[in-house]
Chains A and B, each alone.
Chain A
């Protein structure tokens, strides 16, 4: 090839395209894409950038030559046939220099060609808002939008290049995912033809004059550069707080990143203060919450979730969270709350701290609801529970205990108070609905737990079967062991992977000797007068259902499992019969005859979600709704927008050192099965908080300041200031921020 070319002249006849962009915008890649398109059309091509010691953001040029014969011209392009401008702020006489009248000028701008005609009307003008299109399609780096591939689509349209060839070139160069944006630009391009009579005129090349240069033996004077690099900028960095996934996922609405970071930066008092803004029950949640925050924790991707639950307990054990001052309200309202479980307590806390008078009606002798009757003491010490309830009551909450409120009394309570909240939890228990359910020895797990937890005599012996796979099932199984059962078997209709119980609970149950039997569906119970066995059908897993879990399909193969006691832990639902006839719940508020009442549902009664954290969040919401309805508080908390949360790929893992999570020490299994004492002993210290990335929340780590190549980010207190006169919009600060506490915005 060389030889052939060496013996035959091939000057001229090449079509020349020049591109103007900024370092980092992908101008060279754009030029290459165009070259690849023409190469596919059988042309000889050559493409290159005009390299300097380029700083990202500095104006750069790139070139593409296209010819029917081999190209041996190695000069830059001085008289292009077409010009592509990636960055509208570059436009000026220098950019269009050498472009012949009638040559195509393709601009990335939201403006129409007509709007540009006054200045550039002698050219064939083509415009497209490639930045908007690329942004819409999410094309770019971690920080900045990149328009090159989008603009290449517009170029193809301007020069009538076939779209299929363009798409093939994208595939070849690995830009397949940018094709939709290119296609959009292809159809969005607007063109204004040049006035007739223009066209390329052969012009003699004029060599530029050469500037004088100082000898090296002389000092250059003046500052190194007076260049205001801020004029290069199309986007600027912006500091903001992005939602952390832990906080987004917390059903109680806790500011998880906030309290963990407060602990890491300022200690447990500051952390307790953050917790107290949303929950009065941190000692409780720090023990029994399934911790969806940890499931969402970005640190899982590095070396394991931050032990948020452990930290919450650690903080609450040192500084009570529910101690917020309760300023007297000028006109305090009396609000009745039916049910003293977590939702009722949370609502009471909100109302009391706002200076109102909550009055809790509780059926049991003591407050706590399921926390007291359902959750065994080896999971939640009563000292911790009582401590937090006391803190809440001290804020000025009245309690009427031992008062079961029935349906008839609801309207009466509603009339007697400014508002009424119903927070009775889940009262209706699911059953097997099979033969033998009435036999002695078949009992609802919840009732069994209540007996145990309220200290009634419950010594067991023999074999116990627990039906179900949730936390209640685990609580029943482990409590039965502690109460003396010789053997405990949990029967669940799916597999371990689908068990809704907290993973650690399952692990601990197995450690303690609980047996798990999977893929069995209870059909009924056998026994003469007294339970002797549970009848089970074998189950197979069928195709996934709407939730993505494989649906259990019951077969007709049957087995039976001998036992002395069967505990039903098959789930619960709210008992809607508490609502008076004609009342209907709409968005958590009761309505009668279509008119809203000042009666609100709270917690599991309202949502059916069934965790303490959900109850806390919803109790707060219900209290705020009630206040809002009374014209007292406008802001009602709503769970934040999950899709906006910081994702693992937004975190610069490389900025963090690996350190495995801290786990709570637990009592040895052999010891703990003999008593009801707390298994988890709590974290040894709060150092775990320092593992938190602080997703989306600036820690004043200075990374942005250090990485800014222009050195123009300055500290301003704990925040930062960017000198926009020099910020060139490269986005390096944003790309380097370890925790996505910054973003680039159009400027």
Chain B
């Protein structure tokens, strides 16, 4: 194991390179890359690395970057790319394609506000825009988790029962450009954790059509198979967690991460780094005798319904902190979470930190105050944060 002081951008690239090398006894590694702030550092590092049986192709757009990954993956190679914000929007068509081809592509997405007007800071709206693309989506909270989740994403997505692409999401700058000490396993450990990819439908020297025309019946079946694979993700993810722990000696966080929930009357639910600040506020509330707890939603697709139902059972109030906005609906996490809350539970949505404002404990205190004093749930409420 080595411990390095690196940004989460670099952590992602370093993990991807370990995974790439682990497939050298298989069909190697290939990647299509295109830069965009704030992920550029990630692909820059990737481009600098010499990878045996590996190739990084610098293309002219995000759309092509994903197309290159699709090509490599169809050829049986392990693959990786990174993007962000409007880059993801431009890539979108091929993001769907990767999933519909059932290719275990891994993409690191740095969450950045969609423009215009241009804004380079964090907001989850970009990857949430792709929530229906058929990918597994995992959101990280710190640098170590970014590195670990990239490795886990390969094990998960390449599982023959799953065969789905995985998006590993991290907050712009707060993670992408923040350097922290991060542990990386040695190559042999990664080799053992990630056996060579065996893509059952990979192209061989016998010409075949992929993704030709589907008639309604075929599409119907393919979609159901896609849904079934998604449904299996939580179970396979548990297996990945167990293997991860035994190989690397540390835990891989759950799809839903609880904090001081045992006797909590109310829960604050968030994604990404907001959860760190929420925990501080929960601690302060506990000091004042308020029985607050928190959930961090780490897996957004598939939506970890079962786990959430379990944590929400018996709670009186739930506040959902969304760092995104679906205009006309509200926060997306809130909208989805409402469906799994037990009857009688007050679920209130809060939208804050859009555009990358620094969500400070004082902002979350306001959320908590509002939640405790509320008689019933209402329209999503905006908490303005500023810069």
Contact = CB atoms under 8 A, between A and B. Distances in A.
A597 B296 CA distance: 96
Contact of B250 (A1, A48, A51, A207): A1
Contact of B257 (A2, A11, A35): A2
A75 B144 contact: no
Given A2-B144, A11-B283, A51-B173, A35 B5 contact: yes
Interface string B246-279: 0000111110011100000000000001001101
Nearest to B121: A51
A32 interface: yes
B145 interface: yes
A4 interface: yes
A72 interface: yes
B386 A210 contact: yes
Residue of A1, A49, A205 contacting most chain B CB atoms (<10 Å): A1
Residue of A39, A48, A52 contacting most chain B CB atoms (<10 Å): A48
Interface in B319-353: none
A331 interface: no
Contacts of A53: 118, 120
Nearest to A47: B179
Contacts of B259: 6-7
A593 B54 CA distance: 82
B256 to A, nearest CB: 11
A2 B386 contact: no
B261 to A, nearest CB: 10
Contacts of A216: 117
A32 B384 contact: no
B5 A45 contact: yes
A72 B142 contact: yes
Contacts of A517: none
Given A2-B141, A6-B257, A73 B251 contact: no
A6 B144 contact: no
Interface string A54-81: 0000000000000000011111100000
Interface in B1-15: 5
Contact of B120 (A51, A75, A207): A51
A44 interface: yes
Contact of B360 (A1, A6, A32, A75): A75
A73 B364 CA distance: 14
Contacts of A32: 5, 179
Interface in A432-458: none
A141 to B, nearest CB: 19
B283 A210 contact: no
A74 B145 contact: no
B362 A207 contact: yes
A594 interface: no
B150 to A, nearest CB: 14
A582 interface: no
Nearest to A216: B117
B70 to A, nearest CB: 31
A208 interface: yes
B98 interface: no
Given A1-B250, A2-B257, A6-B296, A72 B279 contact: yes
Interface residues of A, number: 34
B44 interface: no
Contacts of B258: 6
A51 B251 contact: no
Given A4-B251, A6-B253, A6-B259, A74 B277 contact: yes
B191 interface: no
A74 B276 CA distance: 7
B180 interface: yes
A52 B174 CA distance: 13
Contact of B144 (A1, A7, A11): A1
Contact of B362 (A39, A49, A205): A205
Nearest to B387: A208
Given A9-B280, A53-B120, A207-B363, A46 B178 contact: yes
Residue of A49, A72, A210 contacting most chain B CB atoms (<10 Å): A72
A45 B182 CA distance: 10
A73 B276 CA distance: 6
B367 to A, nearest CB: 13
A205 B174 CA distance: 20
A3 interface: yes
A2 B178 contact: no
B313 interface: no
A256 interface: no
Interface in B134-185: 141-142, 144-145, 148, 173-174, 177-181, 183
B305 interface: no
B304 to A, nearest CB: 16
B12 to A, nearest CB: 15
A332 B117 CA distance: 79
Interface in A1-24: 1-7, 9, 11
Contacts of B180: 45-47, 71
A39 B3 CA distance: 10
A39 B179 CA distance: 11
A567 interface: no
A36 interface: yes
Nearest to B366: A207
A35 B283 CA distance: 27
Residue of B120, B180, B386 contacting most chain A CB atoms (<10 Å): B180
Contacts of B177: 48-49, 51
Residue of A36, A46, A53, A208 contacting most chain B CB atoms (<10 Å): A46
Contacts of B359: 75
Contacts of B118: 53
Interface string A259-290: 00000000000000000000000000000000
A6 to B, nearest CB: 5
Nearest to A46: B180
Given A2-B251, A4-B251, A48-B177, A76 B280 contact: no
B251 A11 contact: no
Residue of A5, A205, A208 contacting most chain B CB atoms (<10 Å): A5
A67 to B, nearest CB: 11
A577 to B, nearest CB: 69
A75 B5 contact: no
A3 B183 CA distance: 15
A617 B233 CA distance: 85
A161 B284 CA distance: 34
14 contacts: A2-B141, A2-B145, A2-B148, A3-B254, A4-B251, A6-B257, A9-B283, A39-B181, A45-B5, A46-B180, A73-B277, A75-B277, A75-B360, A211-B386
Chain A to chain B: the 8 pairs with minimum beta-carbon distance, closest first? A48-B178, A3-B251, A9-B283, A2-B253, A74-B273, A72-B276, A210-B386, A74-B276
Given A39-B181, A73-B280, A208-B386, 8 more contacts: A2-B257, A6-B258, A7-B259, A9-B283, A51-B38, A51-B173, A72-B279, A207-B363
